[in-house]
Amino acid sequence: MIRSSQIAVLFIFLSMLGPMKLWAAASDSDLGIREKIHALNELADLEAESENFMSSMQLSQTALELSKKYGMLGELALANENMANSFLGFNNSAKAISHLEEAIRLHSKLKNNDKLLALHHQMAGLLSALGKYQASIAHTQAYQNLKDSITEHNQQKQIAALEAGFSKEIQETENRLLAIQSEKQQTNNILLIISLGLLLLAVTALVVAVRKHLQVKRYFLRLNEQKDRMFSLISHGLRGPIGSVKGIFDLIVEQDMDDPNELKTILNESREVVDSSFNLLENLLNWSKSQTGNLTVNPQKISIASLVKENLMLFTSSIQHKNFTIENQVNENHYAFADMEMVNVVIRNILSNSVKFTRTAGKISLYSQIAKDKLLLTVADTGVGMTREMIEEIMEDDPIVIGSKEENYEKDRGIGLKICKDFLLKNQGKLSIESSPNQGSRFFIYLPLSA
């Protein structure tokens, strides 16, 4: 009933515009023409939802022609979407795909990211259903890349907000210190003027003030050191990979590469560098949130097997590229009671380390078991391993030690594993590591069992 009313209102609107105004010449205002075309698109969409596909197609065709005539790309993109939906209603997938591709092109030009996400997702599903899996994978990758780009933009804004917050806190603390110093000086002057008999009291007050001042100063120096460490890791951790990517792009631009395999190899190397940089940045943000108390634990019943499968899918390309053997023996019936996002970060970080530090043709094994009142997930690899000193530094409670021994191992691995340890502790679990150089590593993830 409501949809019928909507269609009736749009028909009345179009009839009030008048036939001559609907086909108005170029002298009409852009606003009036845009309203007319938008009304046609809205009506076409309602007709398609009511399965009146022929009527929807006629309205969409009219909107499409007017949009082309007046160069209104946004309405032209919507008209192509409506045409695609109408052709899908008639089971004409080829025509539908053609219009969807045109809609994607227009929305890309207009940078309508939300629309692009939906269209890439729709195209991936449609092509998959038609058995065109390679094309479906391309649209799935485009969807993921766009989603990652949006996420990266949001994370950059979060970093800027964190930096502003640190600067504000520094300034406020300095002001408080200046106020304390000023109050102390005034007190001393008053005590000296009143009498020498109050000298002992003045000295005592001074000692207390100095002690308080030193405590505040030590705290603030530690906070500032932690901030400097984070920014240092960001600059050193990202400068190298970004420089490598720039060098690769310069090579592509400056040299003619006729061999597609050579170009594909270079692009794969670029993707690995970008993935590593993105993982480092994401770990730094998670670490910062953990240290500033901005994380909330929301425990729930989660399937460990499902999370492992999802994260293995993320590394499919690297696993195939390095010819790994994956042995996944995680029990489908094993459930934990913990925060799903935090556990997801833990599994992703540990798998990322195993993939990154395991040589070509290596092996990664995953299996789960019940250990008393805990669920134990074990991840074992045949990688380069770690020294005892590296493991001890990861397990150190002091957050400042992150990356302090950069000659021993890569910074992003230390940060990622320390985040895993912290996240597991927040969920009443723990992380244990067994490793030796050139002997591989075993990571033991303990989580509370689900009731």
- Whether the Cβ atoms of residue 349 and residue 420 lie closer than 8 Å to each other: yes
Between CA 167 and CA 254 the distance in angstroms is 42
Distance CA 276, CA 46 (A): 46
Assign domain 296-448 to its CATH superfamily.
Histidine kinase-like ATPase, C-terminal domain (3.30.565.10)
Q: Helix, strand, coil proportions of the chain in percent (round to 5)?
A: 70, 10, 15
Amino acid at 421: K
- Interatomic CA distance for residues 434 and 145, integer angstroms: 35
The greatest distance separating any two alpha carbons of the chain, rounded to the nearest whole angstrom, comes to 102
Residue/partner pairs of 62-65 with CB below 8 Å, 24 or more apart: 63/37
Strand-pair category, 430-435 with 441-448: antiparallel
Q: How many helices (H) and strands (E) are present in the chain, helices listed first? A: 15, 7
Residue 397 Cα to chain centre, angstroms: 27
Q: Is the dihedral of CA 231, 233, 238, 239 positive or negative?
A: positive
Contact 361, 399 (CB under 8 A): no
Interatomic CA distance for residues 76 and 66, integer angstroms: 8
Q: Please give the full DSSP string across 33-53, using - where no structure is assigned.
A: HHHHHHHHHHHHHHHHHTT-H
The CA-CA-CA angle for residues 59, 62, 64, to 5°, reads 110
Our measurement of the distance from residue 315's CA atom to the centroid of its chain's CA atoms, rounded to an integer in Å, reads 15
- The predicted pLDDT at position 440 comes to 95
Token pair recorded at residue 260: 């597609």
Say which residue the tokens 């109408």 belong to. Answer: 86
* Residues 437, 384: Cα–Cα separation, whole Å: 6
- Name beta bridge partners: 253: none
- Structure tokens of 164? 């502003």
| Closest to 280 measured CA to CA, from 414, 106, 80, 131 | 414
- Look up the CATH number of domain 2-111: 1.25.40.10
Tokens of 12: 């009345």
Integer Cα distance of 83 and 45 in angstroms:
9
Q: Measured on CA atoms in the order 117, 120, 121, 122, is the torsion positive or negative?
A: positive
Per-residue pLDDT of the chain (451 residues), as tens digits, is 444 444 444 444 444 444 434 433 433 466 788 899 999 989 988 998 888 989 999 999 999 999 999 989 889 989 899 898 899 989 998 998 999 999 899 988 988 888 888 998 988 898 988 999 998 999 999 899 988 888 887 778 877 877 787 678 788 878 888 888 888 888 888 888 888 888 888 899 888 888 888 888 776 776 676 666 656 555 555 555 666 666 667 767 666 666 677 666 766 666 666 666 666 677 667 666 666 666 789 999 999 999 999 999 989 988 998 999 999 999 999 999 999 999 999 999 999 999 999 999 999 999 999 998 899 999 999 999 999 999 998 888 765 444 444 443 444 557 889 889 999 999 999 999 999 999 999 999 999 997 6
In this prediction the pTM is 0.46
Question: Which residue is it, tokens 């040589």?
Answer: 359
Residues 6+ away with beta carbon under 8 Å from 1: none
Radius of gyration of the chain (CA): 31
